[in-house]
Chains A and B, each alone.
Chain A
Amino acid sequence: MAEEIVIPGWKRWLEGIGDQVGFFVNFFKNVFTGGFEWSEFVRQCYEIGYRSITLVGITAFIMGVVLILQLRPTLVAFGAANMLPRTLSVSFIREIGPVIIAVICAGKISSSIGAELGSMKVTEQLDAMEVSGANPVQYLVVTRILATTIMVPILSIVGDAIGLAGGFLALNIRDSMSFALYFNKVVGAIDFADFLPALVKTIFFGFAIGFVGCYKGFTSNRGTASVGVAANSAVVTASLWIFVIDAIAVQITSLLFYK
């Protein structure tokens, strides 16, 4: 009997990187070739965007409430209670909102894409699509990655608004502030340099969430257990990528806007 060949870990890691680069190139090739699947893209935007609003909204609302309740004692101690809306606004829009919402989306969307494509592979649906002459990358991958790239920034904006509304509610538990005054303070605290970099990084978060989910699903093994592995691995990898992208984005933003 032939001896089993043991591939070293570093070699498997390098092969994995190579596979991902190949998948990335294949995705871009298919974005720019004809036959864009508009109906599937719209369906994915609905599935990924609309069906995530409740989860994103509840999370963002709770974050807004919790942040105000956590910040208040410290700011009151420094006699800066009137800075609460401004502090919440800047921290939520620059950092907390985009990152928390992206991590929530990684858990919901990336895992669901990984599991869906993984189970399609196990049940030979991907092979069936390929041998029929249709293009599974165009139909399944391009539509999902573009849908997450567009919908995650939109979810992030919606989440920011809901989080700030939660902050207003929490502020009025102990103190009293009119909505007009709160709104003015929140909006007045944000400028172009706060909003734009945050929006741009959510586009990359969205791309990473879609890409990782599709890659993990498409390259999963044939067994049924691999569906769970693909879903789990998609969440972990996408979440990790979100923090890596965030760290890079902070450096670039600091260089460009906060000299």
Chain B
Amino acid sequence: MHIEREETVSDAKEKEDKTAKHPASKNEEIVIDIKGLKKSFGEKTVLKNISLQLKRGENIVVLGRSGTGKSVTIQCIVGLLKPDGGSLKVFGQEVADMDEKELKELRLRIGFLFQSGALYDSMTVRENMEFPLTRILKLTDQADIDRRVEEVLTNVGLLEAIDKMPADLSGGMRKRAGLARTLIVNPEIMLYDEPTTGLDPITSREISDLILSIQKKNKTSSLIITHDMECARIVSDRVMIMDNGEYIAQGTFNELHKLNNKAVSAYFTDIS
């Protein structure tokens, strides 16, 4: 993807935000519905009482200090962790009640971008992209596979790195490649675990723009965990702040920015 610094997708969104509500407000279908979610590891309670509703086409950013249970929440959504209590419905189905086959089908509709990108390091970028196409979508037509791989890599601006090994990529390129591998199966929900951590400000902005363009182009719903306030400002329709295993505040970025609350304003100290 070619992102021009003069006018980026995020800049366009800023203008749009002044006149229009976020896209989710037009469509109220709820894709993720969490009520009273609880999760403990031994004696340590990580999620005390989490409730969240993600609407179709909406981007929710979750802010919070490290270790407050943000990643645990999204791991529960894809069934990597089993919650101890509460309800977690994705596309109207309770995740805890799903059998292996149902969970596999659900995962086909959810994309998960890991903090490290999680590229398979024994495979080239091309093979990483082909993996979900041949194993999950069971595609066999090589021409179709090549076309999809080239298209998704063009979208994230990584076509020139198609035959490189993950070890030869920079941190930003790895994140974009990880994102491309997730997007290649056209997920309806995207879960981002700290998508801009460890990146320089310019690459962070590019990734944030990419997240926004994915939302607009594919109409995906996204849950974005981040510590990067600039990323939160660019991509969020709604921001939720998590502390000590529960959400303490939610609203649009600007609403929370103006809120007169010590715990919330601590996140916005560097924002003018």
Contact = CB atoms under 8 A, between A and B. Distances in A.
Contact of A125 (B42, B107, B121, B132): B121
Interface in A112-152: 116, 120, 123-125, 127-135, 139
Interface residues of A, number: 20
B136 A133 contact: yes
Interface of A: 2-5, 35, 116, 120, 123-125, 127-135, 139
A3 B80 CA distance: 27
Most buried by B among A2, A4, A35, A125: A125
21 contacts: A2-B43, A35-B135, A116-B122, A120-B120, A120-B121, A124-B118, A125-B119, A125-B120, A125-B121, A127-B114, A128-B178, A129-B120, A130-B107, A132-B131, A132-B132, A132-B136, A132-B181, A132-B182, A133-B104, A133-B132, A135-B135
A123 B131 CA distance: 18
A123 B121 CA distance: 10
Contacts of A132: 107, 112, 131-132, 136, 181-182, 185
B116 interface: yes
Contacts of B105: 133
Interface of B: 42-44, 78, 80, 104-105, 107-108, 110, 112, 114-116, 118-122, 131-132, 135-136, 178, 181-182, 185
Contact of A124 (B104, B114, B181, B182): B114
A120 B119 CA distance: 9
Contacts of A127: 80, 114, 118
B27 to A, nearest CB: 26
A134 B131 contact: yes
B118 A123 contact: yes
Contacts of B44: 2
B80, B116, B120, B136 interface centre (most CB from chain A within 10 Å)? B120
B135 A128 contact: no
Given A5-B43, A128-B112, A139-B135, A133 B118 contact: no
A124 B112 CA distance: 11
Contacts of B181: 132
Given A125-B121, A128-B118, A133-B107, A5 B42 contact: yes
Given A5-B42, A123-B121, A139-B135, A131 B115 contact: no
A130 B80 contact: yes
Nearest to A35: B135
Contacts of A35: 135
B132 A134 contact: yes
Given A133-B136, A139-B135, 20 more contacts: A2-B43, A2-B44, A5-B43, A120-B120, A123-B116, A123-B118, A124-B114, A124-B118, A125-B118, A127-B80, A128-B112, A129-B120, A131-B80, A132-B107, A132-B131, A132-B136, A132-B185, A133-B105, A133-B108, A134-B131
Contacts of B118: 123-125, 127-128
A30 B41 CA distance: 29
A125 B178 CA distance: 11
Contacts of B182: 132
A239 B132 CA distance: 36
Given A124-B118, A125-B118, A131 B110 contact: yes
A132 B121 CA distance: 16
B156 to A, nearest CB: 17
A137 to B, nearest CB: 12
